[in-house]
Amino acid sequence: MDFSLPSFSSLFSKEVKSVIGVDIGTSAVKVVQLRREKGRVVLETYGAIALGPYAGTEIGRATSLPAEKIAEALKDVIREANVTTQDAAIAIPYSSSLVSIIRLPATVEKQLAQVVPIEARKYIPVPINEVLLDWFLVSDAKKPGPDGKMEVLLVAIHNDTIAKFRSIGQEATLLPAFFEIEVFSAVRASLDHGLAPVAVVDIGAATTKFYVVERGLIRESHIINHGGQDLSLNASRALGLTVTQAEDRKRKYGLSGEGPATVGGGSLPPGQAGADLKKSFELSLTPMIAELTRTVSSWETRTSQTLSALVLTGGGSTLRGLKEFMQSKVTTPIRLSDPFGKTQAPAFLEAILKEAGPEFSVAVGLALRRLQELG
């Protein structure tokens, strides 16, 4: 049995600590609870809840909810997933942050605490005292570039955003140990420590985020204004379905070419309905893939490097047949994120976790960092 309070035996031995990673997206809240046991990371529970119903709209739709509604959804998913810990790490949306690489003279390495806030004013459109500022040295100051400069990763989050997510966590009776921009969590859960540059493609409901990662560091980021909800909305209009029907069929059939024999109340020959559904989804994906291809090409041309892989993550990447369809349009090798592959779980869950994994990359990444901190 799981107890939220330590047993007497834990007073005399190292307590096995459980942690929860919380990913609050625009269309769903995802949670993952992990613990470390005998050097292994054990998956205890996970869950997701759609935010559409809390906004009075359909499942799968992007929402913009007040903090109290998000807290309500978070409490519901914590209850439904049987989460037993309050020790939490919470993701901050990429859209609520600024992540940028700045170049500074290598000679100021020891004065970064004074120099970075001054330099940051050029990039941040609000007063510095209104943001939480952090930075990481990307390049070795002892080996600066030809121009004598080193690279520093600048990260800024508005204080109001931190306060909002802190209040959501507290309302759900969690004790947030830290807040982290979702990109860092997704990268931690999705990639191993390789040297070759890799791109993480995070497909959300409203947008797709593109991150280039090299030697474990985020080199570049880009937002593509196409997401998973576009498929349902376009299929609804094209095929005479309600948005709920289109979303249900997207989740069930994806790009498989399968589907019910009727669409919008009218009868179609067997197989035709599935073919029309697949065609609609492919047409919706085309602008996103075209912009992704341009972004990859631009980065490779500018840096004279080649991306070794595109790693798909986020809820939108779980669409049936998406990886294969994208691979037919893109030359870079594509694979799906497998964050649960970094955890121990019952063997009978392996197939389910592999399929659901990309949606939980951020939540797993948060929990992994928290376990690392606890040692």
Is 55 inside a domain boundary?
yes
**Tens digit of each residue's pLDDT (9 = 90 or more) over 2-26:** 323 333 333 444 456 999 999 999 9
Contact 312, 337 (CB under 8 A): yes
Average pLDDT, stretch 97-124? 88
Average pLDDT, stretch 236-262? 90
Is 50 inside a domain boundary?
yes
**Tens digit of each residue's pLDDT (9 = 90 or more) over 17-50:** 999 999 999 999 999 999 999 889 999 999 999 9
Among candidate residues 158, 165, 172, 25, the one with its CA nearest the CA of residue 87: 172
Is 83 inside a domain boundary?
yes
Is 85 inside a domain boundary?
yes
Three-state SS at 281: helix
Q: Which amino acid, 69?
A: K
Is 79 inside a domain boundary?
yes
Query: What pLDDT score does 218 carry?
Result: 84
- Return the structure tokens found at 62: 């992007």
**Cα distance between residue 107 and residue 76, in whole Å:** 52
Is 260 inside a domain boundary?
no
State the total domains in the chain: 1
Query: What pLDDT score does 38 carry?
Result: 87
- Return the structure tokens found at 140: 């070795």
- Return the structure tokens found at 37: 């046991």
**Tens digit of each residue's pLDDT (9 = 90 or more) over 335-365:** 999 999 999 998 999 999 999 999 999 999 9
Is 354 inside a domain boundary?
yes
Distances (CA, A) of 142 to 106, 137, 195: 7, 11, 20
Which residue did the predictor score with more confidence, 261 or 360? 360
Is 360 inside a domain boundary?
yes
Average model confidence (pLDDT) across the chain? 89
Neighbours of 104 (CB within 10 A): 21
Distances (CA, A) of 129 to 67, 72, 93, 114, 125: 23, 31, 20, 14, 12
- Return the structure tokens found at 49: 């809840």
CATH of the domain at 19: 3.30.420.40
5-9, 301-305, 365-369, range with the lowest pLDDT: 5-9
Which residue range(s) make up the domain with 59? 8-94+162-184+339-374
- Return the structure tokens found at 183: 């990109």
- Return the structure tokens found at 82: 């049987």
372: confidence class by pLDDT, cuts 50, 70, 90: very high
**Cα distance between residue 305 and residue 302, in whole Å:** 8
**Tens digit of each residue's pLDDT (9 = 90 or more) over 138-185:** 876 667 777 888 888 889 999 999 999 999 999 999 999 999 999 999
